[in-house]
Structure 1
Amino acid sequence: MKKTSLYLLLLLTVELIAQNNSFSPGEIWKDTDGIHINAHGGGILFDRGIYYWYGEHKGTSNNAQVGITVYSSNDLYNWKNEGVALAVSKNPNSEIVTGSVMERPKVIYNAKTKEYVMWFHLELKGQGYAAARTAVATSSSPLGPFVYLKSYRPNKETWPLNYNEKWKKAPKDGEPQKWWSEKWYKAVKEGLFVRRDFVEGQMSRDMTIYVDDNGKAYHIHSSEENQTLHISELTDDYLGFTGKWARIDPGGQNEAPAIFKKDGTYYMITSGLTGWDPNAARSFKANSILGPWTPLGNPAKGKDSNLTFYSQSTFILPIQGKKDAFIFMADRWTPKTPIDGRYIWLPIKFKEGKPVIEWEKRWKINQFFK
């Protein structure tokens, strides 16, 4: 009897030691099975008291070999692997066949349709990043399996709200052919790629989804050859686009958008364009989600802030039950060994009306948010 009690106590002690009770950005983050979490470029859904973390399953390649994974947690520190939420297809004719690119999945719940809706950036197999599409899938459960529906080039044959009428026609002397020239930069700001993609639909790469207080959902994505962000209103079922959209920071070269709202003001954090390499983050604010958006500069402060602590934004997580409590979620990419990518989660503070992100080697929620 004593041996049995001692054994049970030992097991309990080991279990308690294995439990995470803080965040350690950049270190291996093990799930409840003791395996490094595999949910890169992810987003979080809070549903019925549980957090669900969706992300890209990485192996030795950045192309999709498994699909979109999902983990669950009730404390944000400890995550259970719930398996594959949306699997790649073995059908060679499928858009999400093994070897395609499935990035930055975000899941939201539609109270009207009772469906969980997943959006993600999709690139077709064998086409590199030329397809530039956004894709949607649905499920009756947050754990899936999600059923793939289709992919889009958004806002086909629709002009943005904040678009100058005179930009709708190409200049009489033609579009500039030489990229990166002064004339080309000016043309980008004045709708060069919007005109080019008007019939087919606008490009959509790095993306996120935001559901506003009134239930309206918005798709925020890098477009126009990654030169300009687009914010697009989704239909009431969250499965399509209404045609109401706006360009944000034309020619500003933003990607990896992450958005949140505080005291009625919208805030967005993005990154610049340096491929897999880190760069200085950017931040913006707006009184309306469709803009205009005002730049606020780099929210990261301190050592390595010029590289956003060697990471790139993916999502801003509101902590349930705590006022003005937001976590900056980012990825530290390792393109040569994608599976080893690390997660950088840091608290967002506010100073002089601007979001601020500072490095914390180890931190707990109650240190910053009451």
Structure 2
Amino acid sequence: MAGGRPRTIHPGQVWRDTAGKPIQAHGASIIQVGDVFYWYGENKERTLPGSGIWHWGVRAYASRDLVNWTDQGLIIPPVTDDPKSPLHPSRQLDRPHILYNPVTRKFVCWVKIMEADGRQTRTVLTADRMTGPYTIIRQDMLPLGMSAGDFDLVVSPADGKAVIYFERVHSEVICADLTPDYTDVTGSYTAHFPHPAPPQVREGPAYFERGGKHYLITSGTTGYHPNPSEVAMANALHGPWTVLGDLHPGDRSRTSFNSQVSAVFKHPGKKDLYIALADRWIPDLPRIEGSDFASGDAYRRFEAMFSKMFAQSGAPLTKQEDALLKDQASKINTSRGTYVWLPIRFTGDRPYIEWRSKWSLDEFH
């Protein structure tokens, strides 16, 4: 600690802002504006079991060192008086992503909304400043007419064009070109990583580029229960992609260190520091599952249950399995979620993440 300010990141532990309050920015990303970093994400402070509140807006924090974060408040507040608004607290708003468009000089934010009928739509907002206020310009949008799950927004380092990677729900990953103002899709797209159903279907795409190579990290589909990550590499944004395997190969629990990656941030002041930003949605999962957690047996049970749940034929879930899934879903308290930020290590072009109980940016040059 220098000058009384922490210099060390402690993955999985409660991370507090400069006022001492737990940080509430889940499904997070980081954007740099000038010499300030902004960490933003879902505000889950009121999302308690049985509350009917999925989110309380999008909150942002500012920092110059990526360790000490000052609350900037709700950059997109909830709309509490209109249940039909995509920003109403009961609506299932997830994974905000923000890009800056240098031509329109607008900050463009996309959010995922899980609808009551099972569709997953997009709401797009714009603002003149990173911290808002943001105005909705599109809602109830199905990109390319598709139900679109978890996603990432990417600006090409080569020409400034933007794409969206999203899970075509329970099917495949789509890479679609964005319009020049970044507020819609053009209609041009490619499809990747096809799978017949969960848990194999890839979700939670998180993109980064290194040395001319493009990387996409994804997770499987097992609800809030974490699962093995997967990383793929390509020579272009639209692929073709080569699957390299698990990003966390040393984790015997098969849970990506009890986390799900939401974004990757390349530190602009370090030569080769890429930080995987991840959520730990169920911090006490090792206690809940006991020895089965560390061995990977707990994950394998959930994998088998999700396979049965989405299978077109075969044995249905037993009453015990159905009760287990419903019991966990009813008790998950995402307001208690923590964060697992870890540096990515490379062997040649192959990325890996290894567990570190603490680490400092000062280790990197």
Write the distance in 2 (CA, Å) between the matches of 1:41 and 1:266.
21
TM-score normalized by the length of structure 1: 0.79
Distance 2:55 2:203 in 1: 24
C-alpha distance in 2 between matches for 1:340 and 1:282: 26
**Which residues in structure 2 correspond to 1:76-225 (within 5 Å)?**
76-89=66-79, 90-124=81-115, 127=116, 130-151=118-139, 152-155=141-144, 201-213=145-157, 214-223=159-168, 225=169
Query: Pick from 289, 307, 312: which aligns with 2:260?
Result: 312
Partners of 2:77 and 2:119 lie apart in 1 by 20
Deviations 1:71-98 (A, max 9, x none): 1111000111100111121223323223
Question: What is the letter of the counterpart of residue 359 of structure 1?
Answer: W
- 5+ residue gaps, structure 2, are 283-330
**8 Å CA contact retained: 1:255, 1:270:** yes
Counterparts of 2:253 and 2:179 in 1: how far apart (Å)?
Answer: 38
Summarize deviations over 1:230-267 as a string: whole Å, max 9, x none: 11111110001011111111115100110000111101
Letter in 1 for 2:340: I
- Between the two proteins, what is the percent identity of the paired residues? 33
**Equivalent of residue 245 in structure 2, options 283, 297, 300:** 297
SS in structure 2 of the partner of residue 300 of structure 1: coil
Give the equivalent residue in structure 2 for 1:326: 274
Structure 1 counterpart SS, 2:255: helix
Q: Is the 8 A contact 1:44 1:53 kept in 2?
A: yes
The correspondence for 2:21, drawn from 15, 35, 39, is 35
Which residue is equivalent to 2:190? 246
Name the residue aligned to 2:180: 236
Q: What is residue 176 of structure 1 aligned with on the other side?
A: none
TM-score with structure 2 length normalisation? Answer: 0.80
Which residue pairs with 1:263 in the alignment? 211
Q: Pick which of 135-144 and 146-155 moved more.
A: 146-155
- Partner amino acid for 1:146? Y
Paired amino acid for 1:95: P
Q: Does structure 1 residue 52 correspond to structure 2 residue 38?
A: yes
Gaps of 5+ in 1: 1-12, 156-200
Q: Return the alpha-carbon distance in structure 1 between the equivalents of residues 171 and 190 of structure 2.
A: 14
Residues 266-323 of structure 1: CA deviation (Å, up to 9, x unaligned): 0111101111001110000001111111100001132446210000110001101222
Q: 2:253 and 2:266 mapped to 1: Cα distance? A: 22
CA–CA separation in structure 1 for the residues paired with 2:252 and 2:75: 35
Is the CA contact 1:64–1:88 (under 8 Å) kept in the aligned structure 2? no
Runs of 4+ in structure 1 deviating by more than 3 angstroms, as ranges, are: 61-65
Match of 2:292 in 1: none
Contact 1:41 1:56 in 2 (8 A): yes
Contact 2:280 2:338 in 1 (8 A): yes
2:113 partner amino acid: L
Cα shift at 1:16: 4.4
Q: Which of 231, 249, 255 is the matching residue for 1:283? A: 231
Shift in Å, 1:123: 2.1
Q: Secondary structure at the match of 1:310?
A: coil
C-alpha distance after superposition, 1:338-366 (max 9, x if no partner): 11101000001111421110001000113
Distance in 1 (CA, whole Å) between partners of 2:11 and 2:176 is: 32
Distance in 2, Cα, partners of 1:99 & 1:250: 32
